[in-house]
Structure 1
Amino acid sequence: VQATTVFTTHTPVPAGHDVFPAQMVENYLSAYLKSSGIDGEALLKFGMQDDYRTQDFNMTAFALRMANQRCAVSQLHRQVTRRMWHGLWPQVSEDEVPIAHVTNGVHVPSWVAPELASLFEKYLGKNWIKGHDDSRLWEGVLYIPDEELWAVHQLLKSKLISSMREGARKRWVEDDVAPRHLLALGVLLHPEVLTIGFVRRFTAYKRPTLIFRDINRLKRILNNQWYPVQIVFAGKSHPADFSSKHLLHEVHALAADREFQGRIAFVEDYDTHMAHYLVQGVDVWLNTPRRLQEASGTSGMKASLNGVLHLSVRDGWWHEGYNGTNGWTIGADLDAPGPDEEDTADAEALYRLLEEEIIPLYYARGGRGVSHGWMRMVKEAIRSVAPVYNARRMLKEYTQKLYRVAAQSTSGMEQR
């Protein structure tokens, strides 16, 4: 089994690693162990962490020991994972822990907007989808006229807002909701306003309320008379995670606050269908995880593919994907002394980016109402992200680095 097994580990967050009392595992597996002749004590040791001081069976430790090839899902995640599981290989240095990495990717045909795909067909060639992991192909994005690309994105943003308004209308008709609740559903959003999207699972480490750290400052940013900003939130909480439910309710209450003048919206019943509208229709994709807790993340890849600029802490895939001109990074790479200090520093960095770079650039419109500086960044986001952070490249890399090794092990066993 070990010789032919490839194991990919994901989130560094403790909740993502199942741990069970050894006695429970032994009870459930006793019949199988007896019938197969497997030594139960030896099996349990494969699931013990570090030097076996605990009597808990860790599923990740078991999988790591029982695999021939082990994989993390981004460059930075490999570093974090090697540090986390160094105790399983105490005889080697941390950078020699046998865990490789293949950065995640997204399925391009599923996530690129049809309107944008038509533009790619026009300027990249009719067969662009067949070679979309070739970086040379994407150089053609630089030749798309700014006016055409801007117009397509404005259409996609209008579709997003129309969809949200239709959802609010249905809630009004079917459930007789209060007008204040309609405000939170986005009925006052405007397609000409800079729109930020925060769309992900609501959980503490993703910090969905970071942007609210200075409420008064945020109100000034969103309600600027000449250069307004609006934010769309969407996501769900885990049924058993009560802290995440609290975060969700907090954001929803703020969206209904009249002092934000309807510039914050929360999408209810968020699903894959709505996810397409969001990754294609907002202008900026906000991501604020605590550092070293985002294994990879893929929503920012989907957004960048559609020309939505990524604004993120430099964690997960963005640690390697950011090149200085294809989006923005929030705060410094170094760890803060503590969570509160990290939140304060990152919120300040986020506000400054919005006030000094993002908002001025978006509203620096030329004679035809197009921000050419913004379009330069949009094109660079597409050009740099699309050929690398896609499922096609990912599967090729898995095959070359991991699956082929496992297959060769199988061949060797068959010959013996």
Structure 2
Amino acid sequence: MKALEPFLYHTTVAYFSMEIALRPDIHTYSGGLGVLAGDTARSAADLNLPMVFVTLLSREGYVRQELSAGGAQIDKPNPWTPTDSTHPLPAMVAISMEGRSVWIQPRLYRLACPIGHAVPVLLLDTDLDQNAAEDRKITDRLYGGDDAYRLKQDIVLGIGGLLALRALGFSIRTYHLNEGHAALLALQLLRETRRPTDDLAPGGSLYDRGVVREKCVFTTHTPVEAGFDKFDYALIDRVLGDYLEVDELKQLAGQDRLNMTQLALNLSGYVNGVARRHAETTRKMFPGYQIRSITNGVHAHTWTHRALAELHVARFPHWAHEPELLAFADQLADEDVWNAHQVAKSELVEHVRNATGTLMHADVPLIGLARRMTAYKRPDLLFSDLERLMTIAQDQPFQVVLAGLAHPRDEPGHRLIESFHRHIERLAGVVPVAFLPGYDMKLGAAMVSGSDIWLNTPLPPLEASGTSGMKAALNGVLNFSVLDGWWIEGWVEGVTGWAIEGHPPGAGDASALLDKLQSVVLPLYYNDRARWIWMMKQSISKIGATFNSQRMMRRYATEAYMR
């Protein structure tokens, strides 16, 4: 317990997330949600906030992506070695599931920031000798298995995480639920408020929901109904037994199935979306709830390429702790900014050559696109008219680098990845296109710093935030995006990047994308380099100074945690 002693007596906020991206070699994340949680933890350490972070150990990771000869994604486990970077803590807690005691042990990862502060991250593990063989696997695969497996993971995270904090000696005042996966934590808190029936006034409730709401903060990220965790009440009964009266559960979480998002909404006193537009979308999905907005941010020190970071250190020594100082980045010398970007771009070009054999060039504009490969993200929108794409490239050459994972059960997402192989073959000799397998934090950092143009084409209003564009902007990469998520707030046309505005919205986006690429974006790159570099500096100064996780965490601390 000695490793925990520096944290135990002042920590008052616990942040729960199914996934947290701590380092590229710790495979406890699948994508944007986990990377956001990791940036949250990094900024909490920077700002010395009294926080502890709780997640699952996920020994087998999420997906290690390989590609077949035909471009199909092959899903493999992505294991890592917990003993290399974490150590078990001397406490275990048990939860009854399906009539068996399932034991949970937290492991500690100490996340330190460059100026010396640190936050504890607890990774919950069920691979213990005390557990039945099937229960040892609950914390193996992130988002793996069937509904029963996912429910058990949610139980371990929410209920197990709460009990583990108490067993370790933490005294938590505020619980922050990052997405609905941890909503059962609020249910456990509610269960603990049960009044004796003798004390119950006529028509009164057995439970004090107000006490729970005072303790819980909920951030929802999913603007798509299909993205919410939902479980049959028969399954809840089978796994948890008579944990809470079913009538009470249905009032809180929905009549037909237990909706984890609805449960979190009903038991949290502060609820927010991750961008202004996303909060508006969530209010329409759940009318009657007060949904605030705290727009996401990214950790500037983590995502800025070292060549550019060296320029910042020379001019603004405290920029990593106070990213708002990047507001003055527009005063950097044009040549210095361009040269720093070319270092990052050359590294990406080299990586593409080594990984795929595709030859790209540092003097040709490079379009980057990397995200979860699923239909509503529309990652193939750029390739909607291959003939026109080739016509554009013959006059104004460009190149494209793609990356991203599809969920193992997302068949349309798998087909999207396979379609890129056909596009690459069709465009060969005219438009160099590469799909880089194994998308992770390290590859993501290379792409957001080495591209010239960052493309994002979700179907509005289904983008929650879209933090990859913020990371690109930190590196002077210009966003070219549909007006959705955070980009509505960061977009200044022709200054920080460009909007893709189809007519009608959504349906006309493909034509609008190609029109602006041909008539505005590529001509600027080739014909007015000084203006392009000016836009790069505007992107860093206006977006980097605002859309960072230091600003985000200061807002959470003052608006959500101290309410």
SS of residue in 2 equivalent to 1:197: strand
Structure 1 counterpart of 2:480, one-letter code: L
Following superposition, the deviation at residue 45 of structure 1 comes to: 2.0
**Do 1:219 and 1:260's aligned partners in 2 also have CA atoms closer than 8 Å?**
no
What is the deviation of 1:130?
2.4
Superposition CA RMSD, Å: 1.6
**Pairs within 5 Å for 1:215-230:** 215-224=386-395, 227-230=396-399
Aligned mate of 1:127, from 318, 325, 335: 318
Output one character per residue of 1:231-287: Cα deviation in whole Å (capped at 9) or x when no partner: 111111111101100000001221133545351111122222111111100100000
- Structure 1 distance, partners of 2:366, 2:392, is 12
Residue number in structure 2 paired with 1:210: 381
Partner in structure 2 of residue 403 of structure 1: 561
Identify the match of residue 19 of structure 1 among 230, 241, 252.
Answer: 230
1:294 aligns with 2:457: no
Residue equivalent to 1:41: 247
- How far is the alpha carbon of 1:335 from its aligned partner? 6.7
Task: Look up the equivalent residue of 2:328 and give its one-letter code.
Answer: G
Q: Render the CA deviation track for 1:130-156: whole Å, top value 9, x for unaligned.
A: 221x3xx23432221211211111121
1:303 matched to 2:472: yes
Gap change, CA 1:85 and 1:258, over 3 Å in 2: closer
Q: 1:359 aligns with which of 512, 522, 534?
A: 522
Are 2:194 and 1:2 aligned? no
The amino acid across from 1:311 in the alignment is F
Gap regions ≥5 residues in structure 1: 90-96, 169-181, 337-341, 366-370, 406-416
The residue identity in structure 2 corresponding to 1:250 is S
Q: Is the 8 A contact 1:160 1:281 kept in 2?
A: yes
Identity %: 37
Say whether the 8 Å CA contact 2:230–2:259 is kept in structure 1.
yes
Question: Is the Cα contact below 8 Å between 1:71 and 1:101 reproduced in 2?
Answer: yes
Q: Structure 1 residue 395: deviation in Å?
A: 0.6
Q: What is the TM-score when the length of structure 2 is the normalising length?
A: 0.60
Alignment counterpart, residue 152 of structure 1, candidates 322, 334, 340: 340
**Which stretches in structure 2 are left out of the alignment for 5+ residues?**
1-211
The equivalent of 2:49 in structure 1 is none
Q: Which amino acid aligns with 2:519?
A: E
**Structure 2 counterpart of 1:127, which letter?**
H
Q: Counterparts of 2:218 and 2:497 in 1: how far apart (Å)?
A: 32
Please tell me the residue identity of whatever aligns with 2:226. A
CA distance in 2, matches of 1:8, 1:154: 37
Q: Which secondary structure state, in structure 2, belongs to the residue aligned with residue 329 of structure 1?
A: strand
Between the two structures, name the one with larger relative contact order (CA 8 Å, sep ≥ 6): 1
1:282-302 residue CA offsets vs partner (Å, 9 max, x unmatched): 100000000010011100000
User: 1:116 — aligned with what?
Assistant: 308
Question: Match for residue 107 of structure 1?
Answer: 299
- Please tell me whether the aligned partners of residues 106 and 298 of structure 1 are also in contact (alpha carbons under 8 angstroms): yes
Amino acid in the other structure paired with 1:353: K
- 1:120 deviates by 1.2
Q: Conserved in 2, the CA contact under 8 Å of 1:10 and 1:73?
A: yes
Q: How does 1:210-289 map to 2 (within 5 A)?
A: 210-224=381-395, 227-257=396-426, 259-261=428-430, 263-289=432-458
Which of 328, 331, 344 is the equivalent residue of 2:498?
Answer: 328
Distance 1:271 1:17, change over 3 A: same
Distance 1:64 1:76 in 2: 18
Q: Give how far 1:30 is off.
A: 1.8
Pairwise CA distance, 1:20: 1.7
Distance 2:276 2:369 in 1: 24
Residue 222 of structure 1, CA deviation: 2.4
* Compared CA separation, residues 59 and 260, structure 1 to 2 (3 A): farther
SS for the counterpart of 1:256 is helix
State the partner residue of 2:482.
313
In terms of fraction of residues, the more helix-rich structure is 1
2:536 maps to 1:378 = yes
Q: Counterpart amino acid of 1:45?
A: Q
Cα distance between partner residues in 2 of 1:396 and 1:60: 25
Per-residue Cα deviation, 1:60-87 (whole angstroms, up to 9, x for no partner) = 111100111111111001100000001x
- Residues 327, 542 of structure 2: 8 Å contact kept: no
- SS of the equivalent of 1:122 reads helix
CA distance in structure 2 between the aligned counterparts of 1:286 and 1:306, rounded to whole angstroms: 15
Q: What SS does the corresponding residue of 1:232 show, helix, strand or coil?
A: strand
Q: Secondary structure at the match of 2:527?
A: coil
- Higher-strand-fraction structure: 2
**Structure-1-length-normalised TM-score:** 0.81
- Give 1:194's aligned residue: 365
Q: Residue type matched to 1:391 in 2? A: S
